[in-house]
Amino acid sequence: MKCKKTAIAFATLLLVTFHAVCQNPEQLAAEAAKAYNSMHFDQAIKLYGKIIDNGYESSALYYNLGNAYFRNNENAQAVLYYEKALKLSPNNSDIKHNIEVVNNRLADKVETVPELFYKRWWKHVVNIMSVDAYAATNIILLSLALLLIALYIAIPVLLLKKISFWAGMGIMFLFIIGMVAATQRNHYLENNHEAIVFEPTVNIKSSPDENSKDIFVLHEGTKVTLLDNVADWQEIRISNGSIGWIKVAGLRKI
């Protein structure tokens, strides 16, 4: 009898394990969406988090998790996942709108220093396509440039030689821009340059020392740019240009 109970318990454990393994991201996402629509936001958060813990990521996944946190009144978490979504889809107007909405709930209202026009232009170029789209475009541009250079060498007519040469140089220039933009886009995706403050209230220090001067205060949910790092201290810059130091433990990287 004892052996039979053990066998039943083992079989039950196998079924539970099998069910967990068989839950693919689509099933979990469907369950999370159902929980969200039923206003069970805690459950939706757990299910979306489970997908992320299994190694999956996408702009839509982070966006939906951000929405669940927002509806659950967890503003810092909402900002974090909206920003993660924006990192993958930098031109998505819905994500940008939701970031503005949740930022209005935060304690810190930090003015943003306007960027120089050429920095805004270059950021737009970098974000206009995904890394994969840039790779495909750059292959096409390089192929066209090489073809035009080959025509320049092969064609004896002077006018056509000039046209093919300058057209080839122009396309090669676009290829170089595309390569640099793709490299910077990939670097931004692969590295953490920004973070969200996850302390209710934190004094930002003038140097990486607990006894250094307090220069300003930040609150939970504020986005910062990461600069230098010393031991368990992180140098940060906020959107108005102010710079200071905070303990790494008080941040969550985007």
Give the pLDDT confidence score for residue 23 in this predicted structure.
Answer: 66
Vertex 158, ends 156 and 159: CA angle to 5°?
125
Assess if residue 49 is contained within a domain: yes
Phi, psi (degrees; rounded to nearest 5) at 236: -130, 160
Read off the tokens for 189.
Answer: 């995706």
DSSP 200: S
- CA 48/CA 55 separation, integer angstroms: 11
The answer to whether position 32 is within a domain reads yes
3-class secondary structure per residue, 33-78: HHHHHCCCHHHHHHHHHHHHHCCCCCHHHHHHHHHHHHHCCCHHHH
Both tokens of 70, joined, read: 């927002």
In this structure, the answer to whether residues 160 and 227 fall within a common structural domain is no
Residues 30 and 89 in one domain: yes
Q: In CATH, what number is assigned to the domain containing residue 212?
A: 2.30.30.40
Between 124 and 6, the higher pLDDT residue: 124
pLDDT per residue as tens digits for the range 154-196: 988 889 999 999 999 999 999 999 999 999 999 988 888 999 9
Pair (125, 174) in one structural domain = yes
Same structural domain for residues 139 and 230? no
Residue 197: which H helix or E strand, with range? strand 194-197
| Confidence tier at 134 by pLDDT (50, 70, 90) | very high
pLDDT confidence of residue 18: 43
- Assigned domain for 131 exists: yes
Euclidean distance between CA atoms 245 and 241, whole angstroms: 13
Q: What is the pLDDT of residue 110?
A: 79
150 pLDDT more than 70: yes
Among candidate residues 46, 72, 103, the one where a domain is terminated: 103
Whether residue 93 sits in one domain with residue 155: no
The mean-pLDDT minimum among 4-18, 68-82, 145-159, 188-202 falls in 4-18
- The answer on 69 and 25 residing in a single domain is yes
Q: Could you say which of 76, 103, 130 is where a domain stops?
A: 103
Q: Domain boundary residue among 45, 80, 103?
A: 103
Judge if 44 and 99 occupy the same domain: yes
User: What is the CATH number for 7?
Assistant: 1.25.40.10
Report the DSSP beta bridge partners of residue 202.
Answer: 218
246 in the same domain as 170: no
- 195 beta partners: 224, 253
Whether 173 and 204 map to the same domain: the answer is: no
Residue 108 lies in a domain: no
CA distances from 28 to 38, 58, 65, 215 (A): 15, 14, 12, 45
Both 96 and 168 in a single domain? no
Domain count within the chain = 3
- Does any domain span residue 109? no
147 lies in some domain: yes
pLDDT exceeds 60 at position 21: no
How does pLDDT run across 219-230, given as a tens digit for each residue? 999 999 999 999
Answer yes or no: is 69 within a domain: yes
Look at residue 182 and tell me if it is in a domain.
yes
* Shared domain check, 131 and 99: no
- Nearest-angstrom CA–CA distance, 68 and 183: 33
Q: Are 193 and 225 in contact (CB under 8 A)?
A: yes
Show the domain range for 72.
Answer: 2-103
6 and 89 housed in the same domain: yes
